[in-house]
Structure 1
Amino acid sequence: MISVAILGAGNVATHLFKAFSKKEGVFVSQWYNRHIDTLASYKNEVDVIDDLSQLKDADVYIMAVSDDVIANLSSQLPFENRLVVHTSGSVSVYDIDKKHKRGVLYPLQTFSKNAEIDFANVPICIETINKACYPLLKQLARSLGSPTKRVNSDQRRVLHLAAVFVNNFTNQLYRIGHEITESEGAEFDLLKPLILETALKVQNHSPFTAQTGPAKRHDKKTIKKHLKALENPHHKNIYELLTESIQHTHGRKKL
């Protein structure tokens, strides 16, 4: 049985707690957050605390907190030489106070508190300074049913950067698409099969070969029509930038 203490109460922390609570072989011994009221609804399921001095022995302490508080929180932990990990994609493992055994347990997925997550579809990237800590973190990730990958800091950093492009930026493009359809009373839902097909296509084809559309075809007439139809200058700038990027990738001239 692996004992885990969770520090933080954000999206990742909440999903980890819910997932661990359903798995055999893992016991969440405590859940810490500086604002204990945030954890009030879980007080009958786990020992919730808001005082770091109350932390008990655990095999792993998981800091699922904002990037900018990782270093400070790790330095405040009232013990040393225990395995302390964070869940960030962009923060160095060395940001954790050196008095601890340090590691990273980075779930490469988007998390929203109200959206269900199947951890079988969440790759967990693992990084440790001490090689002896790796098997325990791998076992912990595998307990969730997650595929695991051992990465170094540079690999994790570029994975996080790429994730911003394929997730955060893509979602913003969905939002722009939603605004555009709403402007004429068209149904955004009609685009959802296209969104799914695009995501499915890159499971078996590279993004390069999967690219379609007027920018790749260098369809000047359609591109000009689209630009004329865009009333929001911000949307027009994005259209032009992405069109230029696609044409650059596929050896086409600029607009």
Structure 2
Amino acid sequence: MISVVILGAGNVASHLYKAFSYSKKVSIKQWYNRDISRIASFKNEVAITDDVSLLAEADIYIIAVSDDAISKLSKQLPFENRLVVHTSGSASAYDIDKKNRRGVFYPLQTFSKSVEIDFSEVPICLETLMRKDYLPLKALAKCISKHTKRINSDQRAALHLAAVFVNNFTNQIYRIAHEITESQGAEFDLLKPLILETARKVQRNSPYVSQTGPAKRNDKKTIKKHLKLLEDDHHKDVYNLMTASIKNTHTL
């Protein structure tokens, strides 16, 4: 049984709590948050606290807070030489105070508290500064996920940046598409099968091979018609930028 303490109460922390709770191989010793009201509803399930000086002893401490808060919180930890990891895709393992053994436990997924996640399908990227700490961290990851990967800091930074493109930027494109359909009273829901097929296609082929559309074909007539239909200058800017990017990729 691997014992853990979770520090933080945001989206990642909340999903980690659920995932660890479902595992028979993990014992959640305690859940900390500076605003205890955010985790008060779990007080009958797990020991909770808002006092770092009262943190329980555990095999691994998981800091799941904003990147800016990692360093400050790690300095407040009242112990030394224990394995402390954060869950950030972009923060350095060195942001954790050096009085403890340091690492990263990065679940590569988008998390919202209201949306259920099958954590067994979430890739967990692992990084430790000391070689001896990798195996216990990997053992913990395997308790909740079928996909674990040892990576270095540069790889994690690249994955996090890429994740912004495939998730955050893509979602903003969906939002623009929603605004375009709304402007003409069309149903955005009619696009959802296309969204799903686009996601499925990239599971089978590379994004390069999967690309279709007027920009790839250099269909100037259709591109001109689309730009004429767009009333919002911001939407035009995004359309022009994406069209130029696709053209550049497929005319090399």
Fold-level similarity (TM above 0.5): yes
Distance between the aligned counterparts of 2:185 and 2:15, measured in 1? 36
Is 1:90 the counterpart of 2:90 in the alignment? yes
User: What is the deviation of 1:146?
Assistant: 3.2
Is 1:34 the counterpart of 2:34 in the alignment? yes
User: What is the deviation of 1:138?
Assistant: 0.7
Distance between the aligned counterparts of 1:179 and 1:80, measured in 2? 53
Structure 1 match to 2:23: 23
Structure 1 match to 2:69: 69
Structure 2 match to 1:45: 45
Match for 1:215: what amino acid?
Answer: A
Q: Does the aligned pair in 1 maintain the 2:123–2:145 contact within 8 Å?
A: no
Is 1:121 the counterpart of 2:121 in the alignment? yes
Q: What percentage of residue pairs aligned between the two structures are identical?
A: 69
Is 1:166 the counterpart of 2:166 in the alignment? yes
User: What is the deviation of 1:204?
Assistant: 1.2
Gaps of 5+ in 1: none
Distance between the aligned counterparts of 1:238 and 1:120, measured in 2? 36
Structure 2 match to 1:213: 213
Distance between the aligned counterparts of 1:65 and 1:251, measured in 2? 43
Q: Mapping of 1:231-242 within 5 angstroms?
A: 231-242=231-242
Runs of 4+ in 1 over 2 A off after TM superposition: none
Q: Does the aligned pair in 1 maintain the 2:124–2:145 contact within 8 Å?
A: no
Is 1:222 the counterpart of 2:222 in the alignment? yes
Distance between the aligned counterparts of 1:218 and 1:153, measured in 2? 39
SS in 1 for 2:203: coil
Distance between the aligned counterparts of 2:77 and 2:40, measured in 1? 22
User: What is the deviation of 1:120?
Assistant: 1.9
SS in 2 for 1:9: coil
Q: Deviations over 1:45-67 (max 9, x none)?
A: 11110000010110000000000
Distance between the aligned counterparts of 1:40 and 1:77, measured in 2? 21
Structure 2 match to 1:112: 112
Q: Does the aligned pair in 1 maintain the 2:2–2:25 contact within 8 Å?
A: yes
Q: Does the aligned pair in 1 maintain the 2:5–2:58 contact within 8 Å?
A: yes
Match for 1:130: what amino acid?
Answer: M
Structure 2 match to 1:245: 245
Match for 1:217: what amino acid?
Answer: R
Match for 1:177: what amino acid?
Answer: A
Match for 2:244: what amino acid?
Answer: E
Structure 1 match to 2:197: 197
SS in 2 for 1:203: helix
Distance between the aligned counterparts of 1:50 and 1:87, measured in 2? 20
Q: CA RMSD in A?
A: 0.7
Paired residue total: 252
Match for 2:235: what amino acid?
Answer: H
Q: Deviations over 1:119-175 (max 9, x none)?
A: 122000000011111111111111003300000000000000000000000000001
User: What is the deviation of 1:247?
Assistant: 0.2
Structure 2 match to 1:147: 147
Gaps of 5+ in 2: none
Q: Deviations over 1:86-127 (max 9, x none)?
A: 000000111111110000000000000000000122000000
Match for 1:114: what amino acid?
Answer: S
SS in 2 for 1:149: strand
Match for 2:55: what amino acid?
Answer: L
- TM-score relative to the length of structure 1: 0.98
